[in-house]
């Protein structure tokens, strides 16, 4: 047997050992993104990740830490692509679709800076994933302050850089919801590109639902409470805007994912939206719909699960296993090693559904094929 034969057998065996695809991982951006990829006129605002007075790593913009983590949290060091591949191998994950960290929070900042960071991130991320494009994929974030700029960046990210999805924040940008009429050209552009739209929250946005009840979003001592509410509450409102605001009625080929908020809220929320749509006195205010909100979700939408969430079976029962994607959130502070094992230890649903969630649904949603 030749060395080539041995290598091929080893590769085949390794491939057979993979158990999952990560629909939503993250990166901590390397500082070169801010010193070389970010346009020069914006570099004075940030150097990227830096140590604060407590020697904790933070994304610092104009002297302010984003998001306002409490002192007990220190962000992991940025990781080169070869190290991320080692993590994937250890976790038995075939590939990861990656989302930003600093660039995600930059999406709620001053509009010019926000758009510039998105451009820098997408260019840097294309190069970073280029080290192993078979296993490292990325979703390209865009800011929605300037819709023309968002469209140009989405087209560049997909058409030139190879992004497999476009990502937006659920929070209002410039005071406008996702179903605002000004967003229509953007949705049309993403639909035409043929990639999914992922709605992805992070803490830190001053407009976050409920933030004012705990002293304001920038209070580190209240971070726990903001983190509890920001992801599910903002995703609930984003889903309501997109389903009940008629976005999917007008864009029937646009696939939408509501990520990093867990999954068991979705059956309850869809039932509540349906109930209001069917109410004889309230339903008329959801104008322009021809189906139940849950039917638009069934046709075009998915959610992700937290790997060890014991309520995953409730979501499987409520919306079906085909609507749920496995995601690790790695390397964020509330993620860790063993995500696949944590998922496999969740009881009370069939192995065929586990396979759909771990593997098939991610391929279907992103429109990917594996050799």
The CATH number of the structural domain formed by 20-29+78-366 is 3.20.20.140
Compute the half-sphere exposure of residue 367: CA atoms within 13 Å on the CB side of its CA.
14
Residue of 20, 309, 150, 204 whose CA lies nearest to 140: 150
Q: Find out whether 296 and 248 touch, Cβ atoms under 8 Å.
A: yes
Residue of 332, 278, 100, 114 whose CA lies nearest to 200: 100
Q: Give per-residue pLDDT as tens, 293-328.
A: 999 999 999 999 999 999 999 999 999 999 999 999
Compute the half-sphere exposure of residue 256: CA atoms within 13 Å on the CB side of its CA.
28
What does the domain layout of the chain look like in residue ranges?
Answer: 20-29+78-366
Question: pTM for this one?
Answer: 0.94
Q: What does each of the 371 residues of the chain score in pLDDT, given as a tens digit?
A: 344 333 333 343 355 599 999 999 999 999 999 999 999 999 999 999 999 999 999 999 999 999 999 999 999 999 999 999 999 999 999 999 999 999 999 999 999 999 999 999 999 999 999 999 999 999 999 999 999 999 999 999 999 999 999 999 999 999 999 999 999 999 999 999 999 999 999 999 999 988 889 888 889 999 999 999 999 999 999 999 999 999 999 999 999 999 999 999 999 999 999 999 999 999 999 999 999 999 999 999 999 999 999 999 999 999 999 999 999 999 999 998 999 999 999 977 899 999 999 999 999 999 999 98
Which of 215-228 are b and which e, b meaning 16 or more Cβ less than 10 Å from the residue's Cβ? Answer: eebbeeebbeebbe
How far is Cα 75 from Cα 285, in angstroms, rounded to an integer? 45
- What does DSSP say about strands 136-141 and 256-259: parallel, antiparallel, or unpaired? unpaired
Q: Give per-residue pLDDT as tens, 341-351.
A: 999 999 778 99
Residue 343 gets the label, from left (phi > 0), alpha (psi -120 to 50) or beta, of alpha
């Amino acid at each position: 047997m030749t060395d080539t034969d041995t290598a091929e057998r080893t590769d085949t065996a390794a491939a057979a050992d993979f158990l999952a695809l990560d629909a939503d991982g993250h990166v901590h951006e390397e500082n070169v993104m801010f010193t070389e990829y970010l346009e020069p006129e914006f570099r004075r605002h940030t150097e990227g990740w830096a140590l604060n007075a407590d020697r904790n790593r933070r994304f610092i913009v104009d002297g302010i830490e984003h998001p306002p983590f409490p002192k007990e949290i220190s962000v992991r060091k940025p990781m080169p692509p070869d190290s991320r591949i080692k993590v994937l191998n250890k976790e038995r994950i075939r590939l990861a679709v990656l989302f930003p960290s600093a660039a995600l929070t930059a999406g709620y900042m001053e509009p010019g800076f926000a758009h510039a960071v998105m451009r820098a991130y997408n260019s840097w991320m294309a190069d970073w994933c280029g080290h192993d494009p078979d296993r490292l994929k990325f979703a390209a974030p865009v800011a929605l302050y300037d819709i023309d700029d968002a469209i140009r960046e989405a087209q560049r990210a997909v058409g030139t850089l190879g992004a497999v999805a476009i990502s937006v924040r659920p929070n209002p940008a410039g005071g406008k919801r996702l179903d605002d009429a000004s967003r229509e050209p953007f949705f049309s552009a993403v639909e035409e590109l043929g990639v999914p739209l992922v709605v992805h929250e992070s803490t830190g946005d001053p407009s976050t639902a409920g933030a004012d009840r705990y002293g304001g979003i920038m209070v580190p001592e209240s971070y726990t409470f903001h983190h509890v509410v920001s992801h599910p509450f903002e995703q609930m409102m984003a889903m309501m805007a997109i389903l009940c605001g008629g976005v999917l009625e007008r864009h029937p080929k646009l696939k939408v994912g509501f990520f990093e908020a867990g999954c068991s809220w979705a059956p309850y929320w869809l039932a509540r939206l349906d109930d209001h749509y069917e109410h004889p006195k309230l339903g008329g205010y959801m104008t322009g719909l021809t189906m139940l909100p849950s039917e638009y979700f069934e046709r075009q939408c998915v959610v992700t699960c937290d790997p060890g969430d014991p309520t995953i079976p409730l979501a499987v029962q409520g919306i079906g296993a085909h609507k749920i994607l496995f995601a690790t959130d790695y390397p964020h502070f509330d993620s860790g090693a063993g995500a696949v094992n944590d998922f496999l230890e969740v009881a009370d649903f069939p192995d065929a559904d586990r396979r759909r969630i771990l593997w098939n649904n991610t391929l279907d949603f992103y429109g990917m094929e594996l050799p």
